[in-house]
Amino acid sequence: MSEQTTKAELAPKGSMVDSRALELAGWLALVAFIIALPFFGSVWALYMGCLVAINVIATVGLNITVGYAGLLSVGHSAFLGVGAYVSALMWIHLGTPLALNIVGGAVAAFLVGLLFGIPALRIKGVYLAIATLAAQYSLYFVFQQWTPVTGGDRGLSLPKIDVFGFGDIGFYFVVAFVALLTTLASRNLFRTRVGRAFIAVRERDYAAEVLGINMVSTKLLAFALGAAYAGAAGALLAAFLRIVNPDQFTLLVSVFFLAAVVVGGRGTTLGSILGAVFMTMMPEFIRFVLEHLAGAEADMAGLLSPLREIIFGALIVGFLIFEPRGLVGLLKRAFGHVEEVEARAEH
């Protein structure tokens, strides 16, 4: 890692400015697209825009855990669920505004993440994956069985939200704003001491510890931060769909987010955005293809769910074997972009 940093600093000034200008242009284009979407797109485009933005938040969060800190979490959707339920309950029982609900959902998911992370992260190895799998099953169980609070299988219904009197478009801008903010925050996190500590722990944990980084608290923070992002995304999802039930937070959804991180490219913010967009659009694409192949009368729901499991799994396996840097790597290859990063060992 340190070698790469020095190389980057020694690189000619011109290329640095270029890549920064390119990145700024990219962000500006993204903002312009976000603003333009509701004025030119259909209702469907607005709906998909909200869904993509929510998934971007959750994927960026999982990328902090899996991509940057190198910890495997396979129960991401459970933390979305915590955020969704907590924010919905705050809304129903306390009548708090949306902004506070989002923060509440994020904080709750952060704390639940700590609860599952503390025992697992004190040991080296894949124990976090087991603990998050346990979180996946046990939190689903809680959502489903704690009927007086969570409403059981029927779940919770929420009243319609109206942001600044703009209806759906207003809500879309809120979601897009939160997504932009959290993505920028995650990107800038890796220019700070805390964020770089995540990477250092991923690359060589003992070396990081020698450099004065507390391994356990760094890993815990990386995992709980990912969970907090999921909590915020869950709170927005609850407000967006206006219904929260256990079946939104199954293992399949966790596989979805893991696939989004892997497909986009682990350890890059651009990758998380690309991965979330790709993965959100793909089920729509499958549905479209199926409708044309099998006709509308086919048993869509029965076919779609297993197909998704196959495709999500195959994407994870295929990208890890053939292009570990994900869509970002493919893009770079397509543009003939060769940097030192190419030579960097995989993490």
Partner 1 sequence: MDALALFLEFSLVGFASGGIYVLAGLSFVIVFKSTTIFNFATGEMMMLGTYLFFLFDLQMGFGWMGGLIAALAAAAGVAMLTDRVILRPLIGRPHIVLVMVTFGVASIMRGVAGLIWGPNVRQLTELLPRTPVFLGDILVPGKLAWGFATAGLIALAFMLFYRYSRAGTAIRATATDQITAESLGINIRMVFLLSWGLAGVLTAASGIILGSVNGVTPQLGLVALNVLAVVMLGGMTSVFGVVVAGLFIGWLETIVGAYLGAAWQSFIPYLIVLIVMFVKPTGLFGEQRVERI
**Residue 303 C-beta: closest distance to partner 1, Å:** 7
Q: Which is nearer to partner 1, 180 or 215 (CB)?
A: 215
**Residue 318 C-beta: closest distance to partner 1, Å:** 9
**Residue 223 C-beta: closest distance to partner 1, Å:** 13
Q: Which is nearer to partner 1, 116 or 172 (CB)?
A: 116
Rule CB under 8 A: which residues touch partner 1? 66, 70-72, 74, 119-120, 122-127, 129-131, 133-134, 137-138, 141, 145, 205, 215-216, 252, 255, 258-259, 262, 302-303, 305-317, 320-321, 324, 346-347
**Residue 309 C-beta: closest distance to partner 1, Å:** 3
| Angle of CA points 129, 197, 183, to nearest 5° | 75
Contact by Cβ (8 Å): 274, 334:
no
Q: Which is nearer to partner 1, 36 or 123 (CB)?
A: 123
Contact by Cβ (8 Å): 49, 176:
yes
**Residue 161 C-beta: closest distance to partner 1, Å:** 34
From residue 273, alpha-carbon distances to 30, 180, 188, 227, 268 in Å are: 11, 10, 15, 17, 9
Q: Which is nearer to partner 1, 5 or 305 (CB)?
A: 305
**Residue 5 C-beta: closest distance to partner 1, Å:** 20
Q: Which residues of 164-201 are buried (b: 16+ CB within 10 A; e: fewer)?
A: eeeebeebbbbbbebbbebbeebbebbeeeebbbbbbb
Contact by Cβ (8 Å): 196, 190:
yes
Contact by Cβ (8 Å): 307, 295:
no
**Residue 42 C-beta: closest distance to partner 1, Å:** 31
SS3 190: coil
**Residue 85 C-beta: closest distance to partner 1, Å:** 19
Q: Which is nearer to partner 1, 66 or 90 (CB)?
A: 66
Q: Which is nearer to partner 1, 87 or 266 (CB)?
A: 266
Q: What size, in residues, is the chain? A: 347
SS3 191: coil
From residue 49, alpha-carbon distances to 152, 157, 177 in Å are: 30, 22, 12
**CB neighbourhood size of 209 (10 A):** 15
- How far is residue 64's CA from residue 50's CA, in Å, rounded to a whole number? 22
Q: Which is nearer to partner 1, 92 or 304 (CB)?
A: 304
Q: Which is nearer to partner 1, 168 or 309 (CB)?
A: 309
